[in-house]
Amino acid sequence: MRAMISAYNSEALSCEGDKDRLDKDPTRISWSRGLIRDATRGRRHEFRPERIYRASYRPFTAQYGYFDRPFNDMIYRLEEIFPTPKHENYGFGVIAPHPHASFAVLMQDSLPDVATYTYTAQFFPRWTYEKVEDDTALFLPPVEGPVINGYRRVDNITDEILTIYQSAFGPQVSKDDIFYYVYAVLHSPQYRNTFAADLKRMLPRIPLAASRNDFGTFAETGRRLADLHMNYESVDPYPLHESTHPFGVDDGDLYRVQKMRWQDKQTKKAIVYNTHLTLSDIPAEANEYMLGSRSGLEWLIDRYRVRTDKDSGIVNDPNDWCREHDDPRYIIDLVKRVTRVSVETMRIIRSLPELPL
């Protein structure tokens, strides 16, 4: 980003208001409509290290992202959801209705990508944030909610919907209960099967549970699923079988990924990790946990490989993280952890009560 911003500023200085004079070399600058407009107007930009975020690029694929309005087109309401990296938030990304896309939902606690599932996703956060101006109180009534680092946190569960749920299930129901209830309903196999065709055409509509007890079960299940999905990097690795450590190969080479693949695409019982290692004894349940067109493990196979961007020439090597953090087993353990997440998710959702559909 430092190199790109420096190159951009040079172009903004030399183009003299004529966009046709801009150097469109994709190895130097990733041009957008907004950036071209800024350059032709002579606007300079600077690198802002405080705009580096942890981002959720694809399911179970965390990357750092540079989130700064001049360099991000069409950010929608993300600035209200994650105004700075210091503002904690979480929510679930739902795949947008598409005739050829299977339904997907995943709880995320970092900056989401619009194409989380390759197809467009819509993000439903627990909170949004409003910047607090010094003179706000002079003109507007105060808005409820705690102020965090200059932003007021606004609850996205409305008082109106809270009244509806408390009327149905009792005054003990909280806004958090409702949020996690919805997340569990969206995982219900009964719900997904019943409305499979509808979910390809419209956003989900949420039914009420059959009873107070069932509502409580859904809410608690939603909490468990959210914890499992957001904290996937810290769950106990599933005990997949690893081949024996070959003689004379150090850990750096032993656990280095180039491109993982299924040993057999039909059975999907083993992943060839590299030329030294194969992970086997993958349980069938791990392949049943689907996030759109791929299972959780298939997202890892797709994303955790060495690739070169054809436009910029930038090499994306996931092994860099392992070297930088002195954790050569990170990726292989991540495969085991996502296996655990997948198996546990399927076990949990199969215990959900029936909805009165």
pLDDT at 140: 55
Going by pLDDT thresholds of 50, 70 and 90, the confidence category of residue 63 is: very high
pLDDT, one tens digit per residue, over 196-244 is 999 999 999 999 999 999 999 999 999 999 999 999 999 999 999 998 7
Lowest mean pLDDT among 47-51, 62-66, 73-77, 114-118: 73-77
pLDDT at 246: 82
Burial class (CB in 10 A: 0-12, 13-18, 19+), 87: middle
Q: Where are the domains of the chain?
A: 1-47, 52-156, 159-229, 241-347
Amino acid found at 246: P
Contacts of 2 (CB under 8 A, 6+ apart): 47
Lowest mean pLDDT among 179-188, 239-248, 270-279: 239-248
Q: Is the pTM of this model over 0.85?
A: yes
Contacts of 261 (CB under 8 A, 6+ apart): 271, 272, 301
In angstroms, the CA 70 to CA 59 distance is: 27
Arithmetic mean of pLDDT over the chain: 94
DSSP annotation string for 20-80:
GGS---TTT----HHHHHHHHTT------GGGEEEEEEETTEEEEEE--GGG-S--TTHHH
Q: pLDDT at residue 138 above 70?
A: no
pLDDT, one tens digit per residue, over 340-354 is 999 999 999 999 999
Question: For a pLDDT cut of 90, what percent of the chain falls above it?
Answer: 89
pLDDT at 245: 75
Lowest mean pLDDT among 141-145, 245-249, 309-313: 141-145
pLDDT at 143: 58
Give me the mean pLDDT over the 138-145 stretch.
60
Give me the mean pLDDT over the 240-252 stretch.
87
Q: pLDDT at residue 139 above 80?
A: no
Going by pLDDT thresholds of 50, 70 and 90, the confidence category of residue 305 is: very high
Classify the phi-psi angles of 268: left when phi > 0, otherwise alpha if psi is within -120 to 50, otherwise beta.
left
Per the CB < 8 A criterion, the answer to whether 159 and 134 are in contact is no
Task: Supply the Cα-derived Rg of the chain in whole angstroms.
Answer: 23
Q: What is the DSSP letter of 305?
A: S
Query: 130: which strand partners?
Result: 152
Per the CB < 8 A criterion, the answer to whether 82 and 89 are in contact is yes
